[in-house]
Amino acid sequence: MELSGKVALVTGASSGIGKAVTLTLLREGVNVAACARSQYRLDELREEAESLPGTLIIGSVDVGAEDQMHAFVEKARMLLGTINIVIANAGFGIMKPLVEMKLEEFDEVLSTNVRGVWITLHQTVPAMVEQGGGDVIIISSLSGKSGFAGGTAYSASKFAVRGLAQSLMHEVRQYDVRVVAVFPGSTDTRFFDGTPLSPDRDKILTSENVADVILHALHTPRRALTSEIDIRPANPK
Ligand SMILES: NC(=O)c1ccc[n+]([C@@H]2O[C@H](COP(=O)([O-])OP(=O)(O)OC[C@H]3O[C@@H](n4cnc5c(N)ncnc54)[C@H](OP(=O)(O)O)[C@@H]3O)[C@@H](O)[C@H]2O)c1
């Protein structure tokens, strides 16, 4: 499918997978509305994207805050036009055993990883249904398919995202809106900073590996839908 000239919204675009997807789409000539909370990291993204063919707009948005997301989506529509692609990617983890975790920490993870995804889609998918087409990519995790010690908040949030994605896929496919859930394994990003997890950074996935499978899903002919994609390091040991 030709992507040049389309408009994409990417959340969590200031680093890691979201940044790699944003740069990949801009290289394809897609115009991208990219958001995250950190303004200075978004400014760095803008500098890196300067010579790429697609147009980039950036916005400082907390995905858990509906008013902020609403304002950014409106700005994106005004400056770039109809949104054809949404990449609901923003997320983070607090990895601790339940016996050590505070309720506030659980709420924080769920607010970004589940509520934030729902808000992002609630602000964008109705227009896709109305216009009769679009592509929604939702980033879950392999932790959304199997639990692990320390994952009572993170893994729970990513299982929830899988249920959200599957349900939405069934709701909107009749309007030619394709919903793809992506389940990455360990990927070398800032995600691991501040967590007790320490994979071998040289062996796990790169953000670009994940961006490539997302691009592949977007290029799939419109009558086909790869509804779930697992991607994991080939040999993490
Ligand atoms: N790295 C992995 O091994 C891995 C594996 C499977 C799935 N994932 C998932 O992949 C997604 C991207 O993570 P990553 O690995 O690329 O980590 P990352 O480098 O830490 O990127 C996370 C992005 O999400 C943004 N973000 C976090 N909380 C936000 C909020 N409340 N509102 C708006 N933006 C927010 C961050 O920007 P700001 O801090 O500037 O807001 C950043 O741009 C996440 O959903 C993560 O769960 C990661």
Q: Check if 144 has its Cβ closer than 6 Å to any atom of ligand 1.
A: no
- Asked if 49 and 43 count as a contact pair (C-beta separation under 8 A), the reply is no
- Annotated catalytic sites, by residue? 154
Distance 91 CA to ligand 1 centre (A): 4
Q: How far apart are CA 93 and CA 12, in angstroms?
A: 13
Nearest alpha-carbon partner for 156 in 167, 146, 166, 165: 146
Does this model's pTM top 0.95?
Answer: yes
Where are the extended beta strands (E) located within 156-224? 177-184
Our answer on whether the CB atom of 191 is closer than 6 Å to any ligand 1 atom is yes
183: Cβ below 6 Å to ligand 1?
A: no
Select the CATH number that applies to the domain covering 7-231 from these four: 3.50.50.60, 3.40.50.720, 3.40.50.2300, 3.30.360.10. Answer: 3.40.50.720
Task: Give the neighbor-by-neighbor strand order of the sheet with 228-231.
Answer: 56-60, 31-36, 7-11, 85-88, 134-139, 177-184, 228-231
Give pLDDT tens digits along the chain (237 positions). Answer: 799 999 999 999 999 999 999 999 999 999 999 999 999 999 999 999 999 999 999 999 999 999 999 999 999 999 999 999 999 999 999 999 999 999 999 999 999 999 999 999 999 999 999 999 999 999 999 999 999 999 999 999 999 999 999 999 999 999 999 999 999 999 999 998 877 777 888 889 999 999 999 999 999 999 999 999 999 999 987
Separation of 19 CA from ligand 1 center, angstroms?
A: 10
Q: Which atom of ligand 1 is nearest to the CA of 38?
A: 40
Query: Cβ(91) to ligand 1 under 6 A?
Result: yes
**H helix or E strand, kind and range, residue 231:** strand 228-231
How much distance in Å is there from the Cα of 220 to the middle of ligand 1?
25
